[in-house]
Amino acid sequence: MSADRHDIDPFERPTRAEGVRRRTDARRPSSRRTATYTPEQWRTIQAESSVLTDRFAQLFDDGSDPASQAVLAASAAWRQHVDRWFYQLTPEVQRGLGELYVADPRFVAYYEGDETQRAGYALWMRDAFAAYADSRE
C-alpha cells in the first residue's frame, strides 16, 4: 500500500458499499449506451482516447502546471469525450476519478509504470482533474 492511501482520512471516504453503489449507479447509463456501439464507434472512441491520453502525457512531460490553461483545456476535452461516449462527467465525478487514479494501484501502475516511467503522473492527473472540476463549480 502506498503512503498516499494512509494519508486519506477513512471517515471522509464513503464506505465500500456506498462506493460500489455509486460506481454502479454511474455506470448504468454507460453500460446501456455502450451496448449499442458498433465496431466503428469503438475504433473512434479508442482513437479519440489515444489522442487525449497523448495530449495529457505531453503536457506532463513538458512540466505544465495541472491548473494551467492548456491542462484545463485538455481536461475539458476529456470531459467532453466521456460525456459523448459514456456518462455525464460532472465536476464531482471527475474529481473522484482523479482521486481513484492515485488511490488504486492499477491506475498508478498504468500512469507511472514500466511502460510510461512517469513518476508523479497519477498525482498530476488527479490535480489536473481537481483544478478543472474547481473551474466548473
pLDDT in tens, the chain (137 residues): 344 433 433 334 444 444 444 544 555 667 888 889 999 999 999 999 999 999 999 999 999 999 999 999 999 999 999 999 999 999 999 999 999 999 999 989 888 887 778 999 999 999 999 999 999 98
Count structural domains, the chain. 1
Dihedral of CA atoms 3, 65, 70, 46 in degrees, nearest 10, equals: -20
For residue 132, the enclosing domain spans: 3-136
**Which H or E element spans position 28?**
helix 16-34
pLDDT score at 8: 38
Q: Closest Cα partner for 107 from 93, 92, 97?
A: 97
**CB of 133 closer than 8 Å to CB of 92:** yes
The pTM (predicted TM-score) of the whole model is 0.75
pLDDT the model gives residue 25: 54
CATH number, domain at 51? 1.10.490.50
Q: What is the pLDDT of residue 26?
A: 55
Name the DSSP letter for residue 88: -
CB contact at 8 A, 128 and 71: yes
Half-sphere CA count of 118, side-chain side, radius 13 A? 22
Burial class for 75, CB neighbours closer than 10 Å (0-12, 13-18, 19+)? buried
